[in-house]
Amino acid sequence: MEQFRGTTILSVRRPDKVALGGDGQVSLGDTIMKSNARKVRRLSEDRVIAG
C-alpha cells in the first residue's frame, strides 16, 4: 500500500528570530494528492507546529 508523503519543512534560526517555511505538496506514490497543504501552522503565544 502506498503511503502519503508530506515533506519539506525549512527552518532558519538567527540569534533573535526564527523563520519557518514549507512547500504545499502532499503525494501518494507518484500522484499529487494536494498541492496547497499548510504544513506550518501558527499556534498561540508565538508558537508554531510543523509536519
Length of the chain, please?
Answer: 51
Specify the pLDDT at position 14.
Answer: 92
Residues marked active site are found at 7
Specify the pLDDT at position 5.
Answer: 63
Closest CA to 21 of 3, 5, 7: 7
DSSP 1-51: ---EE---EEEEE-SS-EEEEE---EEETTEEEESS---EEE-STT-EEE-
- Residue reference for cell 533573535: 16
Please, what are the averages of pLDDT over each run of 10 residues along the chain (51 residues)? 71 88 81 80 75 63
CA–CA dist 23, 33 (Å, integer): 14
